[in-house]
Amino acid sequence: MGGRKRDFVQFRIVWPPQNQLATGSLLQRPPGRKVHPNAAETILDSSLDTKRYPTRFVPTSGLIAYRPVSRLGYGASGEVWKAIGSRHGSVFAVKILQLRSSNVGEVAWWMDTALREFSILQTLDHPHVVACFHGQGFNNDSDKIELFMDLYDTTTWDLIGSRPDLSESIDFLKMFVKDTLRGLAYVHHKGVIHRDIKPENILVKRGDGREWHFSLADFGVSKLLDHKTTFSGTVPYMAPEVHNHHLQTTAADIFSFGRTVLVIHKPKLLTDALRKDSLKEFTDARFVEALKTLQTVAPLLQHVPSKRPPAQAFYLESFGHCSEIASLHPKELRTVPERSLVGGFNLTPVVDAHGMRMQH
């Protein structure tokens, strides 16, 4: 058995002789296990000297050949395609970054950016962080870089666009917040700042006995904690310290996450503004209006970074104790206020929004 949840099984089919089928004799198996006589034997059951093979597609250091199926998305850093592996028939997503610029410095910058994303993703292993299992094209002879990742159904942005009813669902919003916070708490525990949290960068799929499963994706502008003050991300979701080129900590992701939750909850109010306003004119007032019906995220949108609760603390205050989350202390040392940061995850609409404006 293998896989992240030990739900992948390698087996060899063994057909009993016809005379055994006629008499109903059982194959030799461990005592106490009741199995149909025509069932396949797993390697653990078999008495044969059976060689173990990988229980899932594990790419080697060589090149992976694949056939593109359909384009899933595109952006400044390249395109993402659904693809099928030529050798194993595995289905996965491929992020492709073309390196065709005549500007040597630009090509070097993109290659360095892709290598940083790949290196960071290789250090992360969490159910709510998209898995990147292989990368290729980092040598000087390649005209493109390819990152191979787990395939998801869609982005949160596209999901609420096709299913506007979900924005009004408290259960959907809770699931989104819970999954994303788990991923953020883990990433911050690893000392990584995502720097571009938004609905388009949170992927969704169905499965595992639940309706939705959310995972953080697109670590193209992410970085390890340092003292750099680079301007990076998507402007409407940026934290004030990023706008002002100040020191950036994991608190910048918390601010972006707070705004992301508001966009999920009030997509029409905010997406209309995103279409009509220029990025420079997109002000806090748009989000203050959305806060009238969702006061829970107000602590995440404090303009002073130290006043924002870490993902770990916000999760525990909102959803109760979780041993996994309790062990994921953020990399930088931050003190959580003694008073309650949020009074549970209460999504009851608020009629009176007095006092909800963010502090400047």
- The Cα 39–Cα 282 span in angstroms is 62
Helix (H, G, I), strand (E, B) or coil at 161: helix
Strand order in the sheet with 210-216: 154-155, 202-207, 210-216
Q: Is 276 annotated as a binding residue?
A: no
| CB-CB contact of 147 with 114 (8 Å) | yes
CA of residue 11 relative to chain centroid, distance? 31
- The Cα 215–Cα 131 span in angstroms is 9
Going by C-alpha positions, the residue among 307, 338, 343, 313 that lies closest to residue 325 is 313
| CB-CB contact of 184 with 216 (8 Å) | yes
Going by C-alpha positions, the residue among 208, 229, 212, 194 that lies closest to residue 330 is 194
CA of residue 125 relative to chain centroid, distance? 11
Going by C-alpha positions, the residue among 313, 316, 311 that lies closest to residue 254 is 311
DSSP tag of 40: P
- The Cα 89–Cα 299 span in angstroms is 47
- The Cα 118–Cα 219 span in angstroms is 8
Q: Dig out the tokens for 229 from the structure.
A: 């003050």
Other residues' Cβ atoms within 10 Å of the Cβ of residue 295? 19
CA of residue 201 relative to chain centroid, distance? 7
| CB-CB contact of 241 with 230 (8 Å) | no
Residues annotated within a binding site = 95
Residues annotated within a binding site for ATP = 95
